[in-house]
């Protein structure tokens, strides 16, 4: 988790200070195939990433974040470990909904 927070912070800082353009942080997630995986570990990871994104979005440094990957029920053949079926993962669904609502509330995005 510490590496992810350093990595996102450094890229978001570069976006603001060097490139001087907002960025979209995409294709992040936590694989169910990783050792020690649990839905609560995924939720903690997503919360950390979304908190970082939101904090930078408040100042206009980022336009949003795209989790990898949301799937509909019945798409098991595409399962790569990162899939999130919202109807089967209510806690994760709540985290994504909360982040969406927080981002919508920022009137400059």
Going by the DSSP 8-state scheme, the letter that residue 33 receives in this structure is T
Using CA atoms, how far apart are residues 32 and 14, in angstroms rounded to an integer?
31
105 Cβ contact partners less than 8 Å away, ≥ 6 residues apart = none
Domain that holds residue 82: 23-105
Looking at the structure of the chain, the number of domains it has is 1
Query: Which tens digit of pLDDT belongs to each residue from 50-100?
Result: 999 999 899 887 889 999 999 999 998 898 999 999 999 999 999 999 999
What pLDDT is attached to residue 104?
Answer: 93
Q: Which residues pair with 25 in a beta bridge?
A: 65
103 has pLDDT over 80: yes
108 has pLDDT over 70: no
pTM: 0.87
């Amino acid at each position: 988790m510490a590496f992810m927070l350093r990595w996102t912070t450094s890229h978001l800082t570069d976006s603001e200070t060097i490139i001087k353009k907002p960025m979209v942080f995409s294709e992040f997630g936590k694989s169910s195939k990783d050792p020690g995986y649990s839905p609560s570990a995924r939720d903690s990871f997503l919360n950390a990433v979304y908190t970082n994104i939101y904090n930078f979005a408040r100042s206009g440094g980022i336009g949003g974040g795209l989790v990898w990957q949301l799937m509909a029920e019945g798409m098991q053949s595409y399962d790569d470990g990162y899939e999130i079926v919202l109807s089967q993962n209510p806690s994760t669904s709540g985290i994504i909904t909360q982040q969406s609502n927080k981002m919508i509330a920022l009137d400059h995005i």
